[in-house]
Structure 1
Amino acid sequence: MSDSQTRRLNDLDCIEKLYFVLSGLSILVTISLSIFKMTTISKSDSDFTFSIVLIRNAIFCTFYVVHGLLKERAYEIVIFMIAIFGILLYSITLQENKVGSWIFIIVAPAEPAYVIFKMSTQEAGTAQGDLVGATIAAGVLALVTRSVLMVLLYFVYRNYGKGLKEKAEW
């Protein structure tokens, strides 16, 4: 597909639609948690400002998900993955939020599933054959990052309630 062509939502297959829905839910949960945080702290708290930045980041993530899927641009999916990593780091320090962590755990398989699907459907003999290597490299990086993220989440979750939140406060 050339850069000028855009697929419609109806052109997405079932796995891509599932990725779109789960990514959207992840973004909505992020925005909801940020708004909740903003209502429970004072406006002079640095977390208030960071929550605003996080909401803005989530809006950009929406662009990267939609544009990445409809234009089939793997690098935008990687940018989305990096943004989600930042959101996860902040959400964990909200942390010790077990509900937020479980929501993330439930929607976490969406990205690896989509990445694996896209890597398995790459065709080396097409006009975009030059991009196959880049797509696979970005996909492998996304899978490694997600795996490390889930391992780190396990260790952080295991230590909830042991005073880590107070130690992480600046």
Structure 2
Amino acid sequence: MMDESIDEVVIPVNPVTTETVVGKTRRFSSLHTMEILFLTVSILNLLATVGLTVYRLYVVISSDPKSADFTFCILLLVNAAFCVFYVIHGLVRERIYELYALIAALVAVVIYCVVEYSVNAEGRTTVKLIRLIAACVLVPLNIGLAVAVAREFGFLEFRIVGASAAFQYMYRQAALFSCLLKFDLNVNFSFIVLALQDGTNLSVLEVVTLATGLPYSLLWVIMGWVAMRKELQWLIWVFAVLSILTPAYVIYKIVFIYNQDFTAIQSNLKVIEFASLAVGALSLIVRFVLLCELVVVYRNFGKGLKQRAFGDDSSESTGLLAGLKKERSYNT
């Protein structure tokens, strides 16, 4: 009788989670008011950014396709695409670190808008001013909501790995590694896009960089994710060895840019060069942190996380009584 009464209290009438290719996720119908508000503000913020950027990109292509504005428009669109992923995936999968990655990406967008508008006086337009104002108004609100939402996460983690502190720790480390993979891809895509210094007029080197750099970065991230999820030790070693290629290219580009004569560079192109230095440095930092986290994740192999969190026999009943309070709050 006691077990039946507990089941009646704990198990919701309408399921709040569903199984997907990437694992257990929350249904949109289970989102709380604060989460819906965060999702709405995020979508409005990103739609405003994308809309104004696409319009500016159309103007640039029509009037001056070799302008540095072309590069920055593509850069903003790339970051907007990653932000959409961070918002949706971070929300339905309750990935705290992905919301932190969203915050970092939003801050980067604001910094770009402010610096580009203030430094590139010749390229100031009404569209850029509107984009700057929209970013300064919506981004702080977006960040505040992201922090508030992230603080309430924990329900899905409990449903996946149960109440075991050891499994929760390993699951969080795996989630952090997964987030670092995506953020690393985000930063490296941005760095590769910044190689487009002459707009649509691509040199042979820029074509090669785009044709090889983008697919390689994507495949490398997929390799790391599969190795972590399947706990494939041999693939981890391949992943680690290949991880030095991108930093080697980034260091080469940083040294090349640093040794240039900046006095001979046009003012609008200087912004691209300085942005490349900043993004390159960030890329090296993120890659270093990712490899450190790789060691932590690797040491957790063989301890049961794959079966509990990613396998077919992951349990939702472990520590059910310990999670009664959280479960009730999600069913109200």
TM-score, normalisation: structure 1: 0.65
Pair 1:115-2:134 in alignment: no
Pair 1:9-2:28 in alignment: yes
Tell me the equivalent position of 1:18.
Answer: 37
Tell me the equivalent position of 2:58.
Answer: 39
Which of 43, 49, 52 aligns to 1:30? It is: 49
Q: Aligned-residue CA RMSD in angstroms? A: 3.2
SS at match of 1:5: strand
**Judging changes above 3 Å, is the alpha-carbon distance between structure 1 residues 5 and 121 closer, same or farther for their aligned structure 2 residues?**
closer
Which of 127, 132, 139 aligns to 1:101? It is: 132
Tell me the equivalent position of 2:76.
Answer: 54
Task: Report the CA distance between 1:83 and its aligned residue.
Answer: 1.2
* One-letter amino acid of the structure 2 residue matched with residue 119 of structure 1: R
Tell me the equivalent position of 1:142.
Answer: none
Q: Distance in 1 between matches of 2:154 and 2:93?
A: 15
Q: Distance in 1 between matches of 2:102 and 2:85?
A: 9
Task: Report the CA distance between 1:120 and its aligned residue.
Answer: 5.5
SS at match of 2:117: coil
TM-score, normalisation: structure 2: 0.36
Tell me the equivalent position of 1:146.
Answer: none
**Judging changes above 3 Å, is the alpha-carbon distance between structure 1 residues 62 and 100 closer, same or farther for their aligned structure 2 residues?**
same
Q: Distance in 2 between matches of 1:82 and 1:114?
A: 11
SS at match of 1:72: coil
Tell me the equivalent position of 2:93.
Answer: 71
Once the two structures are superposed, what CA deviation does each residue of 1:64-114 show, in whole Å capped at 9, x if it has no partner? Answer: 110000000011111111111221122224536443333224322132133
Q: Does the aligned pair in 2 maintain the 1:15–1:114 contact within 8 Å?
A: no
SS at match of 2:26: coil
**Structure number, greater radius of gyration:** 2
Q: Distance in 1 between matches of 2:146 and 2:164?
A: 22
Q: Distance in 1 between matches of 2:110 and 2:141?
A: 14
Task: Report the CA distance between 1:116 and its aligned residue.
Answer: 2.7
Q: Distance in 1 between matches of 2:98 and 2:153?
A: 18
SS at match of 1:33: helix
